[in-house]
Amino acid sequence: MLAALRAGNYIETAAEFAGIDRATLFRWLAKGRAARSGQFRDFCDAVEGAIAQAEVAAVARIVTASQADWKAAAWLLERGPAHQRWRPSLQVKLGDISDAEIQAALDDVARRLAGGGDASAGGDGPTEP
C-alpha cells in the first residue's frame, strides 16, 4: 500500500491494491490518529509519510516542467500549497444589506437564469418582475 501511495495513487486506490477494505483503512487511520504509539500510530505515520513523499515528487515534476512551459508554474500557483494567495477569487461584501434585499437579488438572478431576463444586462440591483 505504501509503495502505491508513494507512486501518487489515491489512498482508497492504494488500499484496494493492497487488499485492505476501505472501512478498515479509515478505522485503522482513526485509531492511529488517536494513539500516541503502537501499530496503528505507526501505520498512520507511514501512510502520511508516503503521501507526503508523493506530493514532494509531484511538485518537483511540475517545477521541472515549468522551466519549459510557464503554464506548469501557473498551475502550481493556482492549485498548490500557495493556492489561496494566487487563485483568482471573488469576494462579495454584503455590508448592511437586509435579508429581504438579498432574497430579492437571489430571486432576480434565478429568474434571469430561468430565461426571464438577460443576466448579462447589468444594473445596480434587482429589478421588479
Do 80 and 64 lie in a common domain? yes
C-alpha cell at 32: 492511529
Residue type (1 letter), 58? A
| 97 shares a domain with 57 | no
Range of the domain at 129: 90-129
Report the 10 Å Cβ neighbour count for 52: 12
CB 25 within 8 A of CB 15: yes
- How many structural domains does the chain have? 2
**Which of 108, 103, 111 lies closest to 123 in space, CA to CA?**
108
Q: Could you tell me if 16 and 55 lie in one domain?
A: yes
Distance CA 20, CA 1 (A): 9
81 and 96 belong to one structural domain: no
Alpha-carbon distance of 65 to 52, in angstroms, equals 20
Q: What is the pLDDT of residue 86?
A: 62
Query: In the prediction, which pLDDT does 69 show?
Result: 94
Q: Please give the grid coordinates belonging to residue 15.
A: 488500499
Closest CA to 72 of 61, 86, 84, 83: 61
Does residue 80 sit in the same domain as residue 120? no
How confident is the model over 57-88, as pLDDT tens digits? 999 999 999 999 999 988 888 887 766 666 66
**Predicted pLDDT at 102:** 84
Cell numbers for 71, please give them: 503554464
56 and 111, same domain (yes or no): no
**Above 70 in pLDDT, residue 113?**
yes
- Same domain for 16 and 50? yes
Question: Whose grid coordinates read 517545477?
Answer: 63
Q: For residues 81 and 122, state if they share a domain.
A: no
Contact predicate 14/5, CB 8 Å: yes
